[in-house]
Each structure stands twice: as structure tokens, then as C-alpha cells.
Structure 1
Amino acid sequence: MAKIAYILLCHKDPEAVVQQAEQLTAAGDYMAIHFDGRAAAEDYQLIRTELDGNPNVTFARKRIKCGWGEWSLVQATLHALQSALEDFPRATHFYMLSGDCMAVKTAEYAHRFLDEHDKDFIESFDFFESDWIKTGMKEDRLIYRHFFNERKHKQLFYWSHGLQKRLGLQRDIPADIQVQIGSQWWCLRRRTVEWILGFIRKRRDVMRFFRTTWIPDETFFQTLVRHLIPESEIDPRTLTFLMFTDYGMPVNFYNDHYDLLLSQDFLFARKISPEAKELKLRLGRLYAAQGVSFQISNEGRSLYRFLAQRGRSGRRFAPRFWETESSLGRQRELLVVICKKWHVAKRLLERIRQATSIPAVEYLFDEEDTALPDLGGIQAALMKRTRHRRALLRMLFEYYETDQLIICLDPAAIDLMNDFHSDRSSTRFLHIDCAFSDDYLAGHAQRTGLAGARTPQLTLERLLPTIRNDILHEGDRIRDAGYSRLYNLREGASAEENAGQLSGFLNLPRDKAMEIAASKSLFAD
């Protein structure tokens, strides 16, 4: 009879990790956990304390810091696989999971299914011939070396890529390897995993190649399984049900998706919304149940496509997350920097990026050419960004795989501030109070179209007091709005005073905030 060892890669929410492990091992299956090395030590300790008494749970011998698109995700998986092989000799299958996955069938059903289908379940399509990659980099993922993370070090990533292209530094793919691509959510037999681990010990050239490819979790296992296992023993599909929106983002499942999920021809589903408490409870109980029959209709994707094209009424399949009333997410923190002098705010964000790992986006609702990732078109125009502002921010949280995000707003955008402040997410504001000289205000008048290069000096002198009062009025509106967590950075304040405000805004230690506040030329024009 099949016995599954679940390979869980996770980086947050330790209580949910514990619950997931207990639910999936209750029916006699196993779990090997890799908890991201970037996560808080106390979170990892909580997981160890709660699960060390469970003989069906083990942990990766080595924790590493993981980053999206990096080799580190594959390495973390290999560490967990090695632990699972050593600690669970009775495990017949190894199933890749994330913290957002939950079983949509019983253990009884899953074991019977795997017993009846002696195959490896992994999406594996020819990298060059298939259309699996819809947008973005394709061949360049492989033939150039990628040393930097595109999300954390975007400029270095594209600088390195461009330099290699200009110098003609293409590399060859190992001659006997036919690169495949597909979803990272696979289920492999024990023999296959043993062969993969044996192969990587012998083929250092293949390991060197994949270590510097981009997004290797979509190619490494997919390629090696095809290389080692006969095609007749591979089912090129994932057993984890997942869908994507028109914007290219994973669909979240909510409480009223329970019957829909159970009727799909899959063993797990991803992503279960953090807010779907009832759905999580029902699915958690389901896995250990016995004698449950399932009517497989498998209409999930076509039904979702039908509803998405025609719009929804009410909450039959949960509201679109881009609707006005949708939330950024109760567990997320939005940090808003408010400043009339955009160059000052941008300079501050650069200092914050150097001192912290919090993703920061500049004036995305004010500047058309703000650097944004491809989010399926929603980022293309200011009007669309503003109209779907919560959708845009949710997608940025997803893109950067973070629960913290910094954005910049002009003080005039009081409506956006009020909207974000009313959200269920945690919102903090930092108002940067700058000094405005007449020369600066004159330049501001020209930049905003209130004056031109040939505007008479007398007209300009009459205009400047009005502009100055307007800026002061915007500041008063922000202070009068009653935001619960409003911090102020003042040009005339000491570095110590400003460090105290930054410490509260960024939730940083005082000495770290002091490094940012003491930066030279922060307020320079």
C-alpha cells in the first residue's frame, strides 16, 4: 500500500505549518519540512517544539535562505528529500507541497489512486518546443548564467544578463540532457527519487548548469525525471489543482469552493486563501476520513473561465479580488511614504532597500513610467492602476512573495490613503515634511503645468503663495485624517528625532533606523 512522504517548503505562519503536518500525518503518512532560513528563529523553534514528538515528521538537515527563481528552492527541496529518504524507509511516494496546499481527497483515496497508477506524476514538456512559458525570458533562462535574483536585485540581474549577451557568453546545455519544463508540484516514486539523488552525485556538470539557470524549480526535476525514467512510466500532469487569473496570478480558493474542489480529479489544491477558515477546517478533517466517495466532474477550470468572463454576482465562488470591497489581506502590512518632493522619497526608499529586505515601489499611482513587473497588463496605465489599486497591490504582494510592501504617494492622493487605511490590512504612513524654497515652488509650478518657461515673473510671484498654501493644506488634511499610525519625518529635525519616527514606521531597531536617518543629502534638492 502506498505511503506518502510530503515534502513541505514553507517560510511563514508556523501555527499553520504545525496544523498541516498533523493533519497529513494523522492517517499514517509522513512529512519532511524545510522552513526557510530567512524566517524568524522563534518561528522555526515553535514548529520543532510542536512536532518533535511526532515520529512521522522530520526536518531538512540543513536550512537555507530561499529566494523566488533561485537554485536555493531546488537545494532546499533536495535537503528535505534526503531527510525523508533516510528517516522514512517505508515511504513509497514523495509529494511536493507548499504551505498554501491542502488535500481535497482522503488519504484512503490518495493511497488507492497511487497504488493503481504506478507512475511518476510531474509536468514535463519540452522546454523549447512547448508553449508552457507564456511571457518573459525563455531560452535565455538556460544559455546565460544568472547570479542575481531578479526580484531582489533587478538592476544587477538585467545588467549581468545584458553584459553576457553583448560579450557573446552563451553556454552549452549538457549534450545528453533534453531540458523539460513544468509545474514544481510533483509526486515521485521512491525509486525515482533515489535515482535522481544518485544521478546528481555523479553528474557535477549537470548540477553546475542548473545552479545558474533562472527559475530551476520549473526545469530541474522535470528534466531529470524524463532523463532517467521511461516515458511510459511518467504521467505529465500535476496532482495538485491550481488555476490562474487573467492577470497571470494564482486563483485563491474560498469557503464556498469546497464542493468544487472535491469534484476535481486531483489530490491537492493550491492556493487556499488564508481567510478561508471554514474551508481549511473542512479539508483538514477530510484527509483522515474513511469511506468517502467522490463524484469526479473535473469542470473547475472551464467553470472558472466561464464565470470570470461574464462576471459574478454575490459570493457564489468568492468575489473577484480586484473588486473595490476586496482586502489586501489581514496579515499584510502596507507602508506608505508620503512626500511632495518625489526625489526625497525616492532617495529614502533607496536607503531603505539597502538597509532592509522590504520591497519598495516608487510613485506607482503618479508616474506612468514607474518600474513595475509584468502583472498581466494591470500595471500598463495610471488610470488602470488607480481603478484597480487594491488588485495591483495584492499582485505586488504576491509577486514579491512578501507580507510587507512600501509604496510612495503624493500628499494630494488623500483618497488613496483613506482607502488603504480602511482596509483590513495593517497600514502605516510616513509623512515627509520638507522645506520649500521659492525656486523649488517655481519649478514645481512648471512641472505641473501651472506655469511655463515664459510666465511673467510678477504672475509667478503671485502664484507661489497659493502653491505654498496648497501644499500646507495637503499636509493638514493628512494630519487631520486620524490615521492610527502616522509617523513624521521632518527636514528640520535632528537625525535622532527622525530615527525614532523611522523605527516606528519600519519596525526597525533604533540603530538600524539611525543609519537611514543619518544619510547625507537625504533632503537635498
Structure 2
Amino acid sequence: MRSALPENQALLPSDDGAPDATLACVVLAHADPTHLHRLVDALDPFPVFVHCDARTPDEVYDAMADGLPARARMMSRLRTGWARFENVEAEIEGYRLALETTDVTHVALLTGSDYPIASSVEIAELLAEHVGESFAYLHALPHPEWRAGGYGRLRYRHWAWNKRMLRLPVPRRLPTGVVFAGGSQLKVLARHHAQAVVDAYDQNPDLVAFWRRSWVADETFVASILKTPRFVPHWEDELVTTSLWFIGWDGRRRKSPPWLTTEAVPALLTRRTDPRIPTDHVFARKFTTGTTDDVLDVLDDRFALRGPARDELRRRMSAAAPAMSGPQVPSGPQGSSVPQDESVAPSVDLPTTGVR
């Protein structure tokens, strides 16, 4: 169900042509300060909350924090990593900060190797079409892409060590009153959905304790909270079942998706602009300084993400602003359920987002 855009959230360009900050971005990072700064710049004017893995060397953390704009802040550090429950905690704390310090309509969860493939103007237009709705690609268990439907991730206690799964082969009881679900950690949540996730985390320590020993909790904890009516009563009516991410899975068994090099540009641009896809991708991954610089340069130029192209877009937006009579809701892509093969890893027992 689509909600009308509140008058105080109307998408009007600011004096420099930038859109209102309708989106806050939580970024989970552990390396590559240069790319992080490029990502933060491309997300302008959206507020950004950066979590850096506590195991990251201090000099790398300092390079991440140094020179960030006022709209970006570093979060308290947790010991995150591949398949660790602390990834969930970092996500929750990012939502908490975004909700406490901004009045945005949506909150996105990204990794430090993501990058937008749509301008902030386009992203704001899309969200203006979906105030009160979230974008996520989740399945109630049994998950069709996971071994045994994914129940083994929860029924047994797990530990992640050196990107390997350690499982205690003694089954345990599953919590009652929960709709178990799973899917990509990467999503864009409506404000009230993000608040519901934070509240469920704070008010249900028993569920938190249970999920600490589940496998790849960042793919099931928040998904299960969102799918459970007692936590989020109208989730199914307020969900756009799609992923807004292009992820370059290549069909090979991997623990993380590959870097998007120049070979991926045609597919990336096609998926971004294909008119047969009702909701455009607006983010992509993975990128890193050095290996993917040429691709990022293409994206910056093609979608006016940074530099002269963005300045020109905002100049035109600012020049058009006086002609707008009152709050207006721009038309944008419509969301619907579509297959997102690139967003699901081919491996049935590995993290589908590959946050590392």
C-alpha cells in the first residue's frame, strides 16, 4: 500500500540543487578508506553512519574517519566479520543512530564495498514514491535457495572461524511465536520498520541470545523480525519485494561476490536501465580502490554521482526549482516482485550478501 508524501517531506531541491535527505545510510566497513570516502561523497546529501570493524588497524580507522563531511559520523566499533552475530548488532546500532539523529523517511544498510548507481536525486524520487514502504528480498523459511530450507542455520549452534562454519551437531528448540525468514542483509527500510527492528531487539533478549549462535544471523534475525506480525503487523502490505542492489554473482561457488571490473560494465548498466525491470537497481557491489576505479569513473559520469556531472545536474535542478508551485511528488519507478538472480548467491550454505 503506497502512502502519500507528507508535506514536510516533499522532494524539493535545496539551494544547490541537492534533494532533501530522505535517506540515511548505515555502512558496514572494515577496509579501504579511499573507497569509503568516495562512497560517502557519492551519497551526498544523505547522512551516513559508518561502522568500522574493531579488528581493523587503528591507522585504517583513522584514515576512514579523517576528513568525513559533517553529515557522516563514525559509530562505536564492534568486532564484526564474516557470519558473525556482531554484524546484526552493528546494523541495529546504525538504525538506532539514524532514527535518533535524523528525520529521514528510509534507512539503507550498505557495506563499505558498495556504490550507488543512481544519483541522490533519482534515489530520493524513488523513495518519495514509496513513503511508508520498505525494499527487501526476503523469504519465509523454508528458503528455496538454502540447504534444508535454512532451518539448520537456526536449529544448531554455530560459530564462524576463519571463514569456516563450526556446528555443534546437537539440535535445539526453536523459539515460538516467530516467523522464521531469511534473505540479503542489504535492504532499504521505511522509518517505522527500522524502529520496529530496534524495538524488537531491545525488548526480546531471549531471541537475541538464541540468534547469537545461529549461522549467518545477519541473514535471518532482522528478516524474521520483519516477517513476524507481532513485531511488524503490516509488513507484507508495506513491502516492495525486490532488491535495489546489483551484485555480480557469476555462478561460481563463492563466499563473497567478485569485484565488479570493466567486464561487468555492460551487464551492470543493462540491469540499471533495463525498462523491463519495474524497480531500478540504485546500488551495486563489490568495488575496491585500484581494481575497480575505471568502473567507478564510468558510474560517476553516467549517473552524475560526483564531480562536474553532479554539479551540472544540481545546477539544472536548482534552476528548475522556482517553476515548482508548492510540494510535488515526482513520478518514479514502480516497485513490484521481480526475480533478482544477481542478488542471491548460488551457494546454499554460504552468506548470500558476502559482507566481506
Q: How does 1:286-435 map to 2 (within 5 A)?
A: 286-287=304-305, 289=310, 290=313, 401=356
Which of the residues 46, 59, 70 maps onto 2:63? 46
The alignment status of 1:270 with 2:285, answered yes or no, reads yes
Which of the residues 226, 231, 251 maps onto 1:246? 251
Shift of 1:103: 1.0
The alignment status of 1:74 with 2:93, answered yes or no, reads no
Q: How many residues of Structure 1 are paired with residues of Structure 2 in the alignment?
A: 288
Q: Which residue of 2 aligns with 1:109?
A: 122
Instruction: Tell me the TM-score normalised to structure 1 length.
Output: 0.50
Q: Which residue of 2 aligns with 1:12?
A: 31
The alignment status of 1:96 with 2:82, answered yes or no, reads no
- Measure the CA separation in 2 of the matches of 1:236 and 1:226: 12
- Measure the CA separation in 1 of the matches of 2:144 and 2:25: 30
Residues 59/81 of structure 1: CA separation in 2 closer, same or farther (3 Å cut): farther
Instruction: Tell me the TM-score normalised to structure 2 length.
Output: 0.72
Residues 399/29 of structure 1: CA separation in 2 closer, same or farther (3 Å cut): closer
Shift of 1:295: 11
The alignment status of 1:183 with 2:181, answered yes or no, reads no
Residues 301/207 of structure 1: CA separation in 2 closer, same or farther (3 Å cut): closer
Q: Which residue of 1 aligns with 2:3?
A: none
Answer 1 or 2: higher relative contact order, Cα 8 Å, separation at least 6: 2
Q: Which residue of 2 aligns with 1:21?
A: 40
Q: Which residue of 2 aligns with 1:463?
A: none
Q: Which residue of 1 aligns with 2:236?
A: 231
Cα deviation code 1:420-477 (max 9, x no counterpart): xxxxxxxxxxxxxxxxxxxxxxxxxxxxxxxxxxxxxxxxxxxxxxxxxxxxxxxxxx
Shift of 1:281: 2.2
- Measure the CA separation in 1 of the matches of 2:157 and 2:297: 44
Q: Which residue of 1 aligns with 2:175?
A: 174
- Measure the CA separation in 2 of the matches of 1:12 and 1:91: 27
Shift of 1:263: 3.6
- Conserved? CA contact 1:105–1:262, under 8 Å: no
Q: Which residue of 1 aligns with 2:53?
A: 36
Residues 42/180 of structure 1: CA separation in 2 closer, same or farther (3 Å cut): same
- Measure the CA separation in 2 of the matches of 1:11 and 1:233: 32
Residues 153/242 of structure 1: CA separation in 2 closer, same or farther (3 Å cut): closer
Q: Which residue of 2 aligns with 1:203?
A: 204
Shift of 1:153: 6.8
Cα deviation code 1:69-88 (max 9, x no counterpart): 1101111212222222223x
Q: Which residue of 2 aligns with 1:142?
A: 154
Cα deviation code 1:367-386 (max 9, x no counterpart): xxxxxxxx97xxxxxxxxxx
Q: Which residue of 2 aligns with 1:131?
A: 144
Residues 59/273 of structure 1: CA separation in 2 closer, same or farther (3 Å cut): closer
Residues 126/43 of structure 1: CA separation in 2 closer, same or farther (3 Å cut): same
Percent of residue pairs identical: 22
- Measure the CA separation in 2 of the matches of 1:263 and 1:107: 20
- Measure the CA separation in 1 of the matches of 2:355 and 2:26: 23
Q: How does 1:450-465 map to 2 (within 5 A)?
A: none
- Conserved? CA contact 1:36–1:63, under 8 Å: yes
Opposite residue 116 of structure 2, the aligned amino acid is A
- Conserved? CA contact 1:103–1:284, under 8 Å: no
Cα deviation code 1:157-205 (max 9, x no counterpart): 24xx13x2xxxxx332221101111111100011111121112221222
- Measure the CA separation in 1 of the matches of 2:340 and 2:197: 33
- Conserved? CA contact 1:123–1:222, under 8 Å: no
Shift of 1:300: 12
Residues 101/131 of structure 1: CA separation in 2 closer, same or farther (3 Å cut): same
- Bigger radius of gyration, 1 or 2? 1
Opposite residue 71 of structure 2, the aligned amino acid is N
Q: Secondary structure at the match of 1:149?
A: strand
* Greater percentage in helix: 1
Shift of 1:246: 2.4
- Conserved? CA contact 2:22–2:127, under 8 Å: no
- Measure the CA separation in 1 of the matches of 2:236 and 2:339: 28
Opposite residue 96 of structure 1, the aligned amino acid is L
- Measure the CA separation in 1 of the matches of 2:77 and 2:263: 37
- Conserved? CA contact 2:126–2:333, under 8 Å: no
- Measure the CA separation in 2 of the matches of 1:284 and 1:212: 41
- Measure the CA separation in 2 of the matches of 1:300 and 1:232: 19
Opposite residue 235 of structure 1, the aligned amino acid is V
Opposite residue 98 of structure 2, the aligned amino acid is A
Shift of 1:243: 3.5
Residues 55/213 of structure 1: CA separation in 2 closer, same or farther (3 Å cut): same
Residues 300/30 of structure 1: CA separation in 2 closer, same or farther (3 Å cut): same
- Measure the CA separation in 2 of the matches of 1:268 and 1:8: 13
Residues 260/246 of structure 1: CA separation in 2 closer, same or farther (3 Å cut): closer
Q: Which residue of 1 aligns with 2:274?
A: none
Runs of 4 or more above 6 Å deviation: 299-302
Opposite residue 180 of structure 1, the aligned amino acid is A
Residues 202/47 of structure 1: CA separation in 2 closer, same or farther (3 Å cut): same
Opposite residue 294 of structure 2, the aligned amino acid is E
Which of the residues 57, 74, 78 maps onto 1:59? 74
Q: Secondary structure at the match of 1:192?
A: helix
Shift of 1:57: 0.4
Residues 199/300 of structure 1: CA separation in 2 closer, same or farther (3 Å cut): closer
Shift of 1:151: 3.2
